[in-house]
């Protein structure tokens, strides 16, 4: 099974689905006929560790180390046989291979319970909203988290399901701490990781290894893997890319990094990797000083050198190919439910094919975001027909019909085109993505997205303060966000909101008012899930590059390794950390539909000011939408079924007038419209023309067709009959 290139993601990212970077690269390499193999090292380590054999070894190791000290760990060790016995079946169940086991998991006294189950009584009411499969997944997740706590407490304190030794990789301006950590003896997790990696490298015998490091929590394991490769497979060259180097290593100076890797590629990886691969595979004896590279760090004459000396241009999105998930253990990923909230669980439950609608961000203005970097600033959408082609190719390859579009912010116009293309091809798919809560998400567009298979969106409300939203340059207001989230929710699409606190110049009053806005949004049911994060100053954001404009004093350090997160002092002098627990605790309750009647003070253990937000601020804002006339170029589409037709007559002023009785049957309801025969026949003809499988008409075209026979369309279009049809699948886009 010899391969030219070996692509891997080091531990750990997600349990339920592969991180897509290597699949994207493999898809591109296919277009260049470069042979490659990929693996998700993280999921393979998890499967080795969380098996009856692996966990038995963990317990023996902890006993030998005399490290079982805490009361919780002692309890888990005492119950070790009860943890080991069902473990393999639990993993099979979470992989979707053992569904009937759910009933056993949900019975009382089946799973051993340690500290992670302490919250169970508080959440018991939530299971009423969950099916038995979801309840069992949640209980099985708590079971695995108990074992994870034991590993952290007794075996390896760096361990985490979605990260490893993250602290060593975060904001490491100097390489010293990480380098010193890599000189220490192998950890327990290291040994498992390297054993699996060794076997796969011996099978594939690559000439070039490509390592994607998406997050700080992958960096230590990645470099530990590279260290092992350099010692035991010294002839193999190693290239590193991914989200971490793209954002953090743009000021790299420390030559010691090249003890572990040979090349570090930045931003879009296709062309940089193609040039590296061409050098390694076809011309390895050429002096590196003479090689053309694209956005690539190398060690040249013992000095870290950034080379961007090729005349070749990056590939357009049309030319990068379809992600290829072959080689990955797609049926082995583990779906977990950490929180009993259907929207929140999307990140951890289910296997999603990941695609991108557009490179970069179409808005590209948010002042907290790294908009100076290419992955944000270079906006290039993919044509809808190409995207849906790729969806069909992935369905054929993976057998999965679920898609997560991992855009910075998916453009509404492109989402509309993708939805129409899905409906035109009569595909059944499930998809979700990240958006801006902008005004173009009308109720009709949301209905269209839902009909195409969209089940959820996530977007940044950030700070629920119009002053701060303007300072952020978000391009939205709180009122507008409420209207848009209402449109999504009423269409049956779940909404997750990213929430921020501690933005420069934010006052305590604004933090509390933001919490009150959030409470009202959840109480009205127009947001179903959320996550608070504290503002982080990044070097490549407008705030980071223009700190004086935002009242921020950065604590600058000498940079020889990573440079992204910057410590700073806010001109307000407020310690925003103190709000973290109260904000997160209140949100946790709101997500589960409780706590709305509690005063905001009850979420904090220190005195806070009363909110200045009126108690019905959001509800009042939802009623402010004004009438908007239909634009002539608006597309008209009908998603419903054609009616069953009956006929009758009405007598008006002694004259019998023929009428049609149009009975419409949709998935969940039936309704009837009565129209004069000529108007009824005209309407039926139009509805047939504007179904998704046909070319859509504009409002101007429909208006002309109607008025050529009946006069002004307005009385007809805004009649109660048409309003009924408008609420049952007749959409204006």
Alpha-carbon 292 to chain mean position: 35
Length of the chain, please? 733
Q: Give the neighbor-by-neighbor strand order of the sheet with 635-638.
A: 697-698, 635-638, 730-732
Please say if the pLDDT value at position 193 is more than 90. yes
Q: What local confidence, expressed as pLDDT, does residue 696 receive?
A: 84
Q: What local confidence, expressed as pLDDT, does residue 129 receive?
A: 56
- Cα–Cα nearest to 469, from 429, 431, 514, 439: 514
- State the DSSP code for 610: P
pLDDT digits (tens, 9 = 90+) for 148-164: 999 999 999 999 887 76
Rounded to the nearest 5°, which phi and psi values hold at 699?
A: -60, -35
Structural contact between residues 701 and 695, judged by C-beta atoms closer than 8 angstroms: no
Q: What local confidence, expressed as pLDDT, does residue 454 receive?
A: 98
pLDDT digits (tens, 9 = 90+) for 571-610: 889 999 999 999 999 998 998 889 999 999 999 999 999 9
- Cα–Cα nearest to 729, from 453, 451, 414: 451
Please say if the pLDDT value at position 536 is more than 60. yes
Q: Give the neighbor-by-neighbor strand order of the sheet with 353-355.
A: 353-355, 402-405, 430-435, 454-462, 494-501, 529-534
Structural contact between residues 384 and 414, judged by C-beta atoms closer than 8 angstroms: yes
- Cα–Cα nearest to 370, from 108, 545, 583, 129: 545
pLDDT digits (tens, 9 = 90+) for 659-688: 999 999 998 899 999 999 999 999 999 999
- Cα–Cα nearest to 392, from 359, 360, 424: 424
Residues 6+ apart with CB under 8 A from 577: 534
Structural contact between residues 553 and 568, judged by C-beta atoms closer than 8 angstroms: yes
H or E stretch covering 264 = strand 263-265
| Average per-residue pLDDT for the chain | 93
Alpha-carbon 394 to chain mean position: 18
H or E stretch covering 478 = helix 478-490
Average the pLDDT over 534-541 and give the result: 91
Per-residue pLDDT band for 570 (boundaries 50, 70, 90) equals: confident
pLDDT digits (tens, 9 = 90+) for 253-279: 999 999 999 999 999 999 999 999 999
User: How far from each other are the two terminal CA atoms of the chain, in whole angstroms?
Assistant: 52
Full 3-state SS string of 288-347: HHHCCCCCEEEEECCEEEEECCCCCCCCCHHHCCCCCCCCCCHHHCCCCCCCCCCCHHHH
pLDDT digits (tens, 9 = 90+) for 437-460: 999 999 999 999 999 999 999 999
How far from 568 is each of 335, 548, 557, 562, CA to CA, in Å? 38, 12, 11, 16
Q: What local confidence, expressed as pLDDT, does residue 260 receive?
A: 98
Average the pLDDT over 548-568 and give the result: 86
Average the pLDDT over 695-706 and give the result: 92
Q: In sequence order, what E strands does 379-429 have?
A: 380-381, 402-405
Give the angle 314-354-408 at the CA atoms, nearest 5°. 65
| Residue 358 CB neighbour total at 10 angstroms | 19
Q: How far apart are CA 181 and CA 648, in angstroms?
A: 85
| Residue 319 CB neighbour total at 10 angstroms | 10
Which percentage of the chain shows pLDDT scores above 70? Answer: 97
Residue 619 CB-density burial (10 A; 0-12 exposed, 13-18 middle, 19+ buried): middle
User: Which has the minimum average pLDDT: 136-140, 325-329, 523-527?
Assistant: 136-140
Please say if the pLDDT value at position 120 is more than 80. no
């Amino acid at each position: 099974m010899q391969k030219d290139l070996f692509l891997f993601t080091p531990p750990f990212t997600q349990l339920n689905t592969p991180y897509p970077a290597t699949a994207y690269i493999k898809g591109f390499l296919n277009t260049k006929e470069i042979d490659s193999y990929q693996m998700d090292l993280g999921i393979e380590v998890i499967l080795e560790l969380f098996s009856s054999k692996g966990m038995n070894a963990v317990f023996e190791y902890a006993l030998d180390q005399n490290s079982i000290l805490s009361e919780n760990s002692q309890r888990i060790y005492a119950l070790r046989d009860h943890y080991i016995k069902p473990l393999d079946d639990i993993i099979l169940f979470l992989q979707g291979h053992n569904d009937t086991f759910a009933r056993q998991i949900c019975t009382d006294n089946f799973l051993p319970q340690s500290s992670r189950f302490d919250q169970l009584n508080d959440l018991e009411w939530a299971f009423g909203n969950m099916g038995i499969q979801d309840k069992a997944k949640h209980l099985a997740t708590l079971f695995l988290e108990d074992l994870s706590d034991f590993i952290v407490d007794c075996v390896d304190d760096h361990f985490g399901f979605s990260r490893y030794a993250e602290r060593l990789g975060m904001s490491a301006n100097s390489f010293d701490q990480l380098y010193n950590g890599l000189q220490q003896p192998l950890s327990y997790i290291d040994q498992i990781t390297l054993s699996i990696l060794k076997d796969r490298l011996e099978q594939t015998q690559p000439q070039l290894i490509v390592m994607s490091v998406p997050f700080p929590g992958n960096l230590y394991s990645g470099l530990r893997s590279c260290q092992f490769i350099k010692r035991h497979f010294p002839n193999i060259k190693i290239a590193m890319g991914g989200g971490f180097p793209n954002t953090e290593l743009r000021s790299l100076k420390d030559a010691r990094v090249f003890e572990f890797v040979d090349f570090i590629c930045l931003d879009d990886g296709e062309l940089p990797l193609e040039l590296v691969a061409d050098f390694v595979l076809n011309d390895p004896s050429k002096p590196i000083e003479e090689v053309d590279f694209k956005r690539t760090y190398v060690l040249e004459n013992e000095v870290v050198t950034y080379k961007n000396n090729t005349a070749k241009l990056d590939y357009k999105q049309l030319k990068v190919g379809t992600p290829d998930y072959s080689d990955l253990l797609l049926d082995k990923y583990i779906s977990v439910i950490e929180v009993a909230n259907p929207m929140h669980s999307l990140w951890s439950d289910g296997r999603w094919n990941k695609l991108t609608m557009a490179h970069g961000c179409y808005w590209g203005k948010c002042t907290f975001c790294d908009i100076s970097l290419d992955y944000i600033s270079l906006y290039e959408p993919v044509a809808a027909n190409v995207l849906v082609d790729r969806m069909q190719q992935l369905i054929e390859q993976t057998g999965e019909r679920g898609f997560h579009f991992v855009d910075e912010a998916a453009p509404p116009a492109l989402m509309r085109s993708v939805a129409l293309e899905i409906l035109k091809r009569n595909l059944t798919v499930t998809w979700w993505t990240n958006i801006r809560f902008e005004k173009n998400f009308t109720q009709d567009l949301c209905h269209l997205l839902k009909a195409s298979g969209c089940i959820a969106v996530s977007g940044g409300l950030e700070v629920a303060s119009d002053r701060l939203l303007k300072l952020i340059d978000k391009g939205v207001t709180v009122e507008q966000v409420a209207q848009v989230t209402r449109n999504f929710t009423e269409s049956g699409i779940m909404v997750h909101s990213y929430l921020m606190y501690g933005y420069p110049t934010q006052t305590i009053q604004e933090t509390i008012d933001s919490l009150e806005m959030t409470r009202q949004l959840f109480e009205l049911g127009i947001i179903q899930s959320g996550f608070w994060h504290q503002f982080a100053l990044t070097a490549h954001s407008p705030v980071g590059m223009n700190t004086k404009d935002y009242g921020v004093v950065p604590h600058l350090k000498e940079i020889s390794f990573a440079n992204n997160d910057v410590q700073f002092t806010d001109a307000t002098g407020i310690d925003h950390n103190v709000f973290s627990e109260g904000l997160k605790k209140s949100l946790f309750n709101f997500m589960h539909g409780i706590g709305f009647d509690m005063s905001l003070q009850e979420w904090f253990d220190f005195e806070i000011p009363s909110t200045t937000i009126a108690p019905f601020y959001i509800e009042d804002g939802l009623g402010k939408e004004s009438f908007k006339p239909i634009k002539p170029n608006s597309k008209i589409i009908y998603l419903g079924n054609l009616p069953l037709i009956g006929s009758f007559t009405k007598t008006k002023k002694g004259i019998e007038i023929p009428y049609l009785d149009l009975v419409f049957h949709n998935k969940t309801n039936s309704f009837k419209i009565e129209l004069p025969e000529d108007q009824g026949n005209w309407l039926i003809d139009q509805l047939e023309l504007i179904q998704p499988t046909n070319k859509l008409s504009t409002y101007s075209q429909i208006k002309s067709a109607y008025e050529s026979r009946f006069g002004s369309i307005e009385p007809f279009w805004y009649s109660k009959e048409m309003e009924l049809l408008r609420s049952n699948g007749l959409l204006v886009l």
